[in-house]
Chains A and B, each alone.
Chain A
């Protein structure tokens, strides 16, 4: 039963696709109407509505296909334009015209962005084509199954006493007697099976077709990435500048000032050494103390820049050392094999350190569990404490700082902190470990699904045509003709084998079946491979 399930599901999905095609026809009318009215009659304000209708429908198709194929289709649209900024005179300029309110320039910008977004036109193309393609792909298995069921029911339906045209034509055969009707039952069953068999294939094909038009075009994918990277770069450079400033200030206020004092103490001792050796000795001792203090301060500073254990032992031991030095009861689990890139190590270390400090400072926790592991190209760290909970990233807060620190690496922070605890803070940073390399992941956020290169046009045609050719050869010309040969009917209809001289009939039927099977096999293999690729 469960083995039949995908086939039945595919039939259900085909029904949904038929319904979707109806919606698409409406959306298509709205979109084309908004184009014609917007640019033909100047009713420009209609255009965004048309686009909205198109995007809504396309979004539904994306969601359905994403769910059915298990691989979500990301939105391909360019980000909305930034809000226009007023000029020095408080007015907004757009294309040489100055406006008092930002509404019009913003609208023009939006229209311009919609027009220049390739995704808009791909959506439109899809809206025009999918009612045909989608309907065809959905109707094919549905109708085949329906026709097959009809064939199987023929002996029940066939009524010789029915007045008028009692001859029913089924699969090119005139049903003239109960015997013919019975003989056609296997044909009906075969068609029914064919329809069921074709269902998942047709749905997969539709998935590919949808993906080929509705998945982000390379250009918009890149544009999205550029926008995202730009933002990240700004955040990273800002953060870095602030960090350098902090280090400068710490050096200036701490060790530098102390070294000046040290120098002065030593020169005072130098002056006293002949006249008052005892006092000079006291001063030199002071100088030694302050050099110790400078070293202590420098040690603290170095810890804040790049902890020595991190440099010497890597992330795992650095976090262990952190746990040992913590006043809390900290348990650390590390599962890292191989060397992480230095910047990621550092970011992860400071993230964990900050979260741990928060647990002690704000949550009033006693016990903290830190887990650190690396799997599938992602470094993950979770810090769980038994404190009072209620933690949330607030502006200027420690968790925001953690977010800023991991953001340049596409890192994400998740906080679960119900009132009353426990609090779990999870940090994820995608990065390769040691020799591993995962450039798809590094390519960035927009293509997070690991986009497969779309099938070539030739391949698409092949996948579309092969089932048709093969099924024609296999079924009517092969199996059906064979069935008719067995029963020896006079009606030759369009069955090639029946027109041939007697000795050639059976070889032709067998050749047809062989051709059909030969065509189906590579197709099956291709689909299976496609499925496997989707799975990984």
Chain B
């Protein structure tokens, strides 16, 4: 799936990186190798790492002091090695609701995804750590979250869709529409979905119109708002 996306990804992705100014990132990851690798990766793509910390407390302090454009956070951090990172990120978001947060983890849980999406304000990401392998796409996700967008791991979306599988309106979607819906839920733009599914953008927007009609959602041209509507729909259904 990842290879497919990458082969489909045109050169256009790169100029997203060059388009905006240096994105300021606070990074929280307790494993040195990964912290170092992520720092290099993000710097190589023109981002500025204003702090790279190891623990939840340091993270909270750095978020308050640096006011970054985005926080890239590992869920499990010292000292408790529980969900320290997630808690710190949620706490920081309570202080500053629009703070973009991208959560990284060795595993993805619907439970955490729902907590992150609960406030409905977007600017969240939740990805498996192995998504870092696809460097460009990962950087793209960071940037998207920094801009107020959403980046949900395909695995989370698959689980969300699965737990909504018994849902009547969802059942009426065609397989293709479900694919487009999954793409939207992951936070992709029409263009990105079109590239991923080898469709024209026009076709994708027709699909999205259909989906919104079937799910009884208000149509919107704004990508971010559209994603939020879809996620709120998926999130709310299974509550």
Contacts and interface: CB of A to CB of B under 8 A. Distances in A.
- Is chain B a partner of chain A in the same complex? yes
Interface of A: 285, 288-289, 291-292, 295, 299, 302-303, 308-309, 311-313, 317, 320-321, 324-327, 329
13 contacts: A288-B3, A291-B133, A295-B106, A295-B129, A299-B106, A302-B107, A308-B107, A309-B109, A309-B111, A311-B82, A321-B109, A324-B238, A327-B165
B163 interface: yes
A313 B83 contact: yes
Contacts of B128: 295
Contact of A295 (B3, B130, B163): B130
B166 interface: yes
A345 to B, nearest CB: 13
A315 B162 CA distance: 23
A324 B107 contact: no
Contacts of B165: 327
A278 B200 CA distance: 28
B47 interface: no
B111 A324 contact: yes
B91 interface: no
Given A299-B107, A320-B111, A312 B133 contact: no
B159 interface: yes
Interface string B90-130: 00000000000000011101110010000000000000111
A43 B109 CA distance: 73
A303 B108 CA distance: 11
A321 B110 contact: yes
Contacts of B3: 285, 288-289
A325 B75 CA distance: 19
CB-CB nearest 7 A-B residue pairs: A312-B83, A324-B110, A321-B111, A312-B82, A308-B107, A295-B130, A321-B109
B76 interface: yes
Contacts of B109: 308-309, 321, 324
Given A312-B75, A324-B159, A291 B107 contact: no
Interface string B43-76: 0000000000000000000000000000000011
Contacts of B2: 288-289, 292
Contacts of B81: 311
B181 to A, nearest CB: 19
Contacts of B130: 291-292, 295
Given A299-B107, A302-B107, A309-B111, 10 more contacts: A291-B133, A308-B109, A309-B109, A311-B81, A313-B83, A324-B111, A324-B238, A325-B159, A325-B163, A327-B162
Q: SS class of chain B's interface: helix, strand, loop or mixed?
A: mixed
A288 B111 contact: no
A327 B128 CA distance: 22
Given A313-B82, A329-B166, A292 B133 contact: yes
A384 B2 CA distance: 40
Of residues B3, B82, B105, B111, which shows the largest number of chain A Cβ atoms within 10 Å of its Cβ?
A: B111
A308 B107 CA distance: 8
A346 B82 CA distance: 15
B18 to A, nearest CB: 24
B163 A324 contact: yes
Nearest to B7: A285
A311 B133 CA distance: 26
B159 A288 contact: no
B133 A288 contact: yes
Contacts of B166: 327, 329
A324 B111 CA distance: 7
Nearest to A294: B130
A483 B82 CA distance: 81
A308 B159 contact: no
A293 B154 CA distance: 15
A321 B110 CA distance: 7
A22 B128 CA distance: 79
Nearest to A292: B130
A329 B128 CA distance: 26
A141 B141 CA distance: 88
B100 to A, nearest CB: 23
Contacts of A327: 162-163, 165-166
A289 to B, nearest CB: 6
Contacts of A289: 2-3
Contacts of B75: 312
Interface string B142-184: 0000000000000000010011011000000000000000000
Contacts of A311: 81-82
A526 to B, nearest CB: 51
Nearest to B113: A324
A326 B75 CA distance: 23
B130 to A, nearest CB: 5
Contacts of B107: 299, 302-303, 308
A312 B103 CA distance: 15
A30 B66 CA distance: 91
Given A291-B133, A324-B238, A329-B166, A317 B106 contact: no
Nearest to B155: A296
A316 to B, nearest CB: 11
B125 to A, nearest CB: 19
A292 B134 CA distance: 11
A325 B106 contact: no
Contacts of B133: 288, 291-292
A321 B113 CA distance: 11
Nearest to B165: A327
Contacts of A288: 2-3, 133
A449 to B, nearest CB: 39
A309 to B, nearest CB: 6
A312 B76 contact: yes
A325 B107 CA distance: 13
Nearest to A286: B3
A258 B75 CA distance: 27
Nearest to A308: B107
A336 to B, nearest CB: 16
A140 B32 CA distance: 84
A382 to B, nearest CB: 21
B7 to A, nearest CB: 9
B41 to A, nearest CB: 15
Contact of B110 (A295, A303, A325, A329): A325
Of residues B109, B162, B166, which shows the largest number of chain A Cβ atoms within 10 Å of its Cβ?
A: B109
Nearest to B110: A324
A329 B82 CA distance: 28
Contacts of B114: 324
A269 to B, nearest CB: 15
A131 B213 CA distance: 89
Contacts of A295: 106, 128-130
